[in-house]
């Protein structure tokens, strides 16, 4: 099995090499060169890396991504749904605060 360099995995997953290094054990290299420290990944790790990238784009914290990656497919879908529900709730709360701040900055008169 031919291993992927960190650059090749980054290209395949749209994660930067820095992000791949910082994934806190989510994407452990298949091999690390003992002399250079260069990281190599198995082709089978591409799907997990892509999942990590997608979940990061949703704004999911790494600890929660670790949970999602360890769950069975149906349970991981529920976890993603719950996470998105939280994002929507936070966005709605921020929308209300934004409206208040806009009105407040205009002397209590809402403007668009």
Q: Identify which has the larger pLDDT, 21 or 60.
A: 60
Higher pLDDT, 79 or 108: 79
CA pair distance 39, 55, nearest whole angstrom = 23
pTM above 0.85, yes or no: no
Q: Is a pLDDT exceeding 70 seen at residue 70?
A: yes
* Cβ neighbours for 55, distance < 8 A, ≥ 6 positions apart: 64, 65, 68, 80
For the segment 47-68, the average pLDDT, to the nearest whole number, is 90
pLDDT band, very low/low/confident/very high, at 75 (cuts 50, 70, 90): very high
Residue 17 — very low, low, confident or very high, per pLDDT cuts 50/70/90? confident
Provide the token pair at 78.
Answer: 């529920």
What are the structural domains, with CATH classification, of the chain?
1-58 (1.10.1660.10), 71-112 (no CATH)
Which residue pairs, CB below 8 angstroms and at least 24 apart, start in 34-41?
38/5, 38/6, 39/5, 39/6, 40/3, 40/4, 40/5, 40/6, 41/3, 41/4, 41/5, 41/6, 41/8, 41/9
**pLDDT tens per residue across span 78-101:** 999 999 999 999 999 999 999 999
Contact 79, 67 (CB under 8 A): yes
pLDDT at residue 41, rounded to an integer: 93
Residue 35 scores a pLDDT above 70: yes
């Amino acid at each position: 099995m031919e291993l992927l360099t960190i650059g090749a995995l980054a290209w395949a997953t749209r994660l930067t090499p820095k992000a791949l290094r910082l994934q806190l054990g989510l994407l452990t290299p298949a091999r690390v060169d003992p002399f250079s420290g260069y990281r190599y990944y198995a082709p089978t790790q591409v799907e997990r890396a892509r999942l990590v990238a997608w979940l990061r784009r949703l704004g999911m914290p790494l600890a929660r991504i670790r949970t999602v990656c360890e769950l069975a497919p149906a349970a991981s879908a529920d976890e993603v749904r719950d996470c998105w529900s939280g994002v929507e709730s936070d966005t709605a709360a921020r929308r209300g605060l934004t409206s208040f701040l806009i009105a407040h900055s205009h002397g209590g008169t809402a403007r668009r």
